Structure 1
Amino acid sequence: MSCNELGYFQPIDAKSIGSKWKAGKISLKYFVDLCYDIFHNPKFTIDWIKKQVEATNVYYGGMEMRGASHIILPSGSLDSWRIIGKLSSDNPAIVPVVIEGESHASDMYAPVSEDSDALKKARKKIETTLFKWLGITIE
């Protein structure tokens, strides 16, 4: 998806993470080249990827998600993908759930006793929202 729809890459500059990191940096060019290497297609250039991202945003309504409904968007506060996520919404049919202190997809794992209160609360919100949309009443 990053190569042709989202265009979300995570370049790393050694200055931002400290000098002990041996590779120095992972540039945007690295990720674009990686797309080319994986798919063996010369169309994978930064300009082409940008156009694909624009087309994806037009098709799905961008961050406004026009026409979308009944969507729950869990995201951990430690999740690097949250940067491109929808973290708030005025639309009651689009429900972002930001889970403090958690990472990507932590809500998808089976519950364990060590789960944080934030994760437990997020799972409850997801469950309550789904049940409401499905018309299920839990007593």
Structure 2
Amino acid sequence: MATMLSRWGAILIVVLAINTGGCGKSGRPVLVPAIGEVMFKGEPLTAGSIIFFPDKSVDYQNDRPSSLLQVNGSFIMKTYPFGDGVSPGKYKVCLNPPLANAIKLPQYGDPKKTPWEIEIPETGDKNIILEAQ
């Protein structure tokens, strides 16, 4: 009898772990790829970072996904602490303010003034091209 109860107890623990672990209830956002490059005057923009500011429609609001710009201007957005990707939805996109100021386009460093807006679909986007003008 005691063995049967401990077996049922083990099954109950497994069922509870499965039911509370998935479906976004853990607080972990659904992330999809957001990969691209930033250009300025036809050349890759480097020595800075890019930040996505989520619109109110984006499910996950606890972080601003970001990425360092690589030497070829490329980026792979990350959502801290969960890893590569962003939640699907609309974003204002900014450069970090020191980089925006260095290229004399400070509006690109301000989420209220940046001309860059992007919508990341449920499948992600691996071909984002942003041109600072």
TM-score band (shorter)?
under 0.3
TM-score, structure 1 length as denominator? Answer: 0.24
TM-score, structure 2 length as denominator? Answer: 0.25
Bigger RCO (CA 8 Å, 6+ sep): 2
